[in-house]
Structure 1
Amino acid sequence: MKVLKGQDILALGFMTFALFVGAGNIIFPPIVGLQAGPHVWLAALGFLITAVGLPVVTVVALAKVGGAMDALSSPIGKVAGGILAAVCYLAVGPLFATPRTASVSFEVGLAPLTGDSPLALFLYSLVYFIVVFWVSLYPGRLLDTVGRFLAPLKILALAVLGIAAFALPAGDIGVAEPAYVAAPFSQGFINGYLTMDTLGALVFGIVIVNAIRSRGVTSPQLITRYAIIAGLIAGVGLALVYISLFRLGSGSHAIAAGAGNGAVVLHAYVQHTFGSLGSGFLAVLISLACLVTAVGLTCACAEYFSQVVPLSYKTLVLLLAVFSLLVSNLGLTKLIAFSVPILTAIYPPCIVLVALSFCKEFWYSQRRIVAPVMLISLLFGIIDALKVAGLAHWLPNRLANLPLSEQGLAWLVPTLITLAGAFICDRLIGKRQEALA
C-alpha cells in the first residue's frame, strides 16, 4: 500500500495553507485590528471562527466523502446540489476571488511603485494570468510547484511580516469604531466571510485529494487521514497569520488612522517599518500569496466544470484565466462592493451543509433535516444580503429588525428553529415507519 513520507505530508500541508492564504486573508485582518481598537482580540475570535475554524472543518467534511462537493451536498438532491456547487465555484473562481487576487496584488503591491493606471493594471494582470494559466495546466504537479517551492517562499515572507508586527509595533492601540464597541465578536465573525475561505475549502477539497492521489495513494482511509492532517496544518498557519495581522493593524493607529481598507493599513505599516525596501517586499509578498491562491482556484474550477460541461480541462483553464483577466480590470473597489452581498447570502447555507454533515448519525433521514434547514438559512441570508447592499427599505419592518439582524446574523435564529422542527418531524416519521415495518 502506497503511503506518503513525512516530507510529503508536510508539503501537502504547506500547499493547503498556501492555497488558502490569498488576497482577502492579508488585507482584511489589518483593518479589523485597526477599527476594533481595544476590542481587537474579541473581534479576532469571531473572525477566526469563520476564517479558520469553518474552512478546516470543511476540509475534514470533504475528506470524509472523498473530496467531491457533490457527495457532501447529496442530501439536498442532485439539482440543488449542482446549483450550490456551481455558485460556489463561480464565486471563488472567475466572478470574485480569482480576479480579486490580481486586483489586490496590483493595488497593494505594485500600484504604489508604478502608478494606479488602467494600462499598468492590464499589463500586470496579463502577465499574472499567463503564469496562472501555465501552472494550472499541470494539476498533478501542484504538490511540487506549490507545496515544495512557492508555499515555503510565501510562508517565509509571511513569517517576516508576522514577527515584525509583534517585535516592531508602529504605535499604541487606538480608539474603536462604534460598530466594534457595540458588537466586536459579531463584526469579526462577519468580516471572516470576506476571506471566502469556507467557500474556498469547498472547492479546494478535490484539489487536495487529487494531490494525494498523484503520489499513488489509493486507500480512502489514508486519503482522508492525509487531507485532515493537511487541513489542520493549514489551520494553524492561518491562525498565526491572522493573529500577527490583527496585531499589526491594532498598533497602526498613529500611521493609518482613518484608513478605508486593510491594504492601506498594510502598506503604511510596511513603509513605516521597512522604509523604501518595504514597498518592494510587500509587492513580492502579495503577488506570491495571491498567485498561489489563483492557481488553486483555477485548477479546482476547471476540474469541476470539466465534469459537467463538454469542454476539456485545458480549454477550461484557458477560458477561466481569460475571463478572470477581464473581470480583474474592473478594479478592486467594484469587485468587493459587488461580492459582499453575494457572500452574505450564500455563506449561511454552506455553513449549515458542513455543520450538519457531522451530525447525520442523529437522525433517520439526511434529506429531511438538511434540505429545509439550508433553505431557511439561504432565505434569511438573502435578507442579510439586502441590508448589506443598502436595500433594507425593500424589506417589511419585521424582516428588517429580526433578532441579531444588526450583527448580520438574522439567519441564525430561524435556522436553529427550523433545525429543531425538522429534527422532531424526522423522529416522528422515522418511528412511524419503524412501526409500520
Structure 2
Amino acid sequence: MEKLDKKKLLFVSLMIFSMFFGAGNLIFPPQLGQLSGTNMIVSLGGFLISAVGLPVLAIAVVAKAGGLHILASRVHPKFALAFTVLIYLSIGPFLGIPRAASLAFEMGVSPFISTTLTSSRMPLFIYTLVYFGIAFWLCMSPSKLVDRFGKVLTPTLLILIASIFIFSLFKPIGAFSAPTGDYGQFPLLKGFLDGYMTMDAIAALNFGIVISIALKQMGVTEEKSLVSNTIKAGAIAGLFLSIIYGMLAYLGAASQVRFGATENGAQTLTNVVFYLFGQKGSILLGVIFSLACLTTSVGLLTSCSQYFAKLMPKISYKTWVTMLTISSTIFANIGLTKILQFSVPALTAIYPMAIVLMVLAFANSFFKGSSYVYLFTMVCTSVVSILDALSQFGLKFSLLNHLPLYSKGLGWIVPAVVGALIGFAYGILKDGIVERNKDLEPNETGM
C-alpha cells in the first residue's frame, strides 16, 4: 500500500480544515460558549459530535464507498442522483457559498464603511466581485490547493485565531456565567443541534472529490491507499477543528459577564477582539473572517464543479467553475439575512437524511448491506425532515408534534429506527420467500 509521508499528510489535513472552517465555524462556537456558560464543556461535547465527528465520519464512509453518488445508490439510483445534486446545490451556489461571502463582507468590510454606504447594495456588489474573482482564480488550479491552503492560508488562519486565545490568557476577559435556556437543561443535546448549523457534515460528503484529486497529485493512486490516507487526513483535520472550537467557545463563555448577551456569535467575537486589541482588532477580525470564508468557498466551488463536470462531461470543469461562481455572486447579493432565512429549512430537510445515510453506511456489515434497510429508513426519515422543513415556511403538520424528540429538533430519529427495522424484517421475509421458491422449483419440474 502506498504511504504518504507525514509532512504531505499534514498539508492535506490543513487543506481539509480550511475547506471546513468557514462562516458558521467562526460564529457558532462563541455563541455556544456565551449561552452555555458553566456548562460549556458539556455543550461543546455535543457540538463536537455533530460539527466534527459527523464530518469526519462522512469523509470516511464516502471514501470507503467510492463517492457520494455510489453511497446514495444503495438507497436507489434515482434517489442517488436527486440527493447528490441537491446536496451539491444547497451546500454550494444556493446557500453555503453565498452565505460565506455575505458573512465575510459583514465582518470584514461593513465595519469600515459609513452607515450611508452600508445601506447601499453597491459595497456588497463590489466586494463579492473581488471575493469571487479571487475564488475563481484559486479554483482554476485545483491541484495547487494543498500548497496554497495547507502551506499558506490555513497556517495563517490558525495563528491568528490562536493569538486571540493566547492573548486572552494574559488579559482575562471575565468569569463564566450561568447557562441559559436549553443550555441549562439539555446542554449536550443543544450543543449537538448547534453543530447542525456549521453544515460541515453535508460539506464533507462533497469534499471527497477534492481530497481524492489532491492525494492522486501526490502519487497516491491505489484505492486502499486513497481510502486510508483520506481517513487519516480527515481525522487530523477534525483534531484541529476541535482545538479551535474549544478556543472560540472559551472566548464566548468568558465574555458573558463583561459584555452581556449578544444576538449572535459574530457580535460576541467582535466584543472580545475589541476588548483585547482595541479598534485595531477590527482589522484582525476582518482578515480572519475573510480567510475562513474564502477557503471554504473555494473548496465548495471546486468540489461542486468537479462533480457536475463528471456528471455532465460535455461541459468542462472550468465552465462549471465559471457558471457556479457567477450564480454564487448573484445569490450572495441577496444579503445575509435572507440567505439565513432559507438555510435553516434547507438544513432541516437535508441534514437528517445525510446523517442517516452515513450511519447506515457505517453499520452496513451489520445488516449485510440490505437495500431494503436503506430504502425504508430513508423514506421514513425524509418524510419527517421534509415536512419539518415545510413547517418552517408556515405549513403546519400537527402530526409531527406527536413524534418523540420533535420539540428538540430530532423528530426524525424514531421514524428512522422504525424504517430500519421494517426494512430489515422485510428483507429477511422476502429472502426467505425467494429461497423457498427455489427449493420448490426442482419438485415442480419433476412432476
Whether TM-score is above 0.5 comes out as yes
TM-score (norm 2): 0.92
* 3-state secondary structure, aligned to 1:363: coil
Identify the residue that residue 44 of structure 1 maps to in structure 2: 44
Indicate which of 137, 140, 144 corresponds to 1:141.
144
Q: 1:223-253: per-residue Cα shift (whole Å, max 9, x none)?
A: 1111011100111011111111111111111
Alignment of 1:15-414 (within 5 A): 15-66=15-66, 68-115=67-114, 116-117=118-119, 118-165=121-168, 168-309=171-312, 310-387=314-391, 389=392, 391=394, 394-396=396-398, 398-414=399-415
1:349, 1:377 within 8 Å by CA — same for their partners in 2? yes
* CA distance, structure 1, for counterparts of residue 183 and residue 402 of structure 2: 20
Q: Is the 8 A contact 1:173 1:250 kept in 2?
A: yes
Matching residue's letter, 2:69? D
Larger radius of gyration: 2
Cα deviation for residue 217 of structure 1 reads: 1.7
Segments of 5+ residues of structure 1 without an aligned counterpart are none
CA distance in 2: counterparts of 1:383 and 1:168, whole angstroms: 49
Deviation per CA, 1:247-290, whole angstroms, max 9, x where unpaired?
11111113442311111111111001111221111111111111
Q: Equivalents in 2 of 1:320, 1:128: separation in Å?
A: 14
Partner letter of residue 230 of structure 1? A
SS at the partner of 2:109?
A: helix
Contact 1:383–1:410 under 8 Å retained in 2: no
Instruction: Determine if contact 2:378/2:419 at 8 Å carries over to the other structure.
Output: no
**Cα displacement (A) at 1:432:** 4.0
Deviations 1:296-330 (A, max 9, x none): 00000000111223421111111111111111112
Q: Pairwise CA RMSD of aligned residues? A: 1.8
**Structure-1 residue corresponding to 2:417:** 416
SS at match of 1:170: coil
In the aligned structure 2, how far is the partner of 1:246 from the partner of 1:383?
Answer: 33
Is the Cα contact below 8 Å between 2:379 and 2:419 reproduced in 1? no
Q: 1:166 deviation in Å?
A: 5.1
- Report if aligned partners of 1:173, 1:253 keep a CA contact under 8 Å in 2: yes
- Following superposition, the deviation at residue 72 of structure 1 comes to 1.2
Amino acid in the other structure paired with 1:82? L
Does the 8 Å contact 1:169/1:252 carry over to 2?
no
Equivalent pairs counted in the alignment come to: 433
The residue type paired with residue 56 of structure 1 is V
- Change beyond 3 A, Cα 1:12–1:336: same
Q: 1:328 corresponds to which letter in structure 2? A: A
Indicate the residue corresponding to 2:442 in structure 1.
none
Quick one: distance in 1 between partners of 2:170 and 2:431? Answer: 60
Distance 1:25 1:167, change over 3 A: farther
Q: Is the 8 A contact 1:363 1:426 kept in 2?
A: no
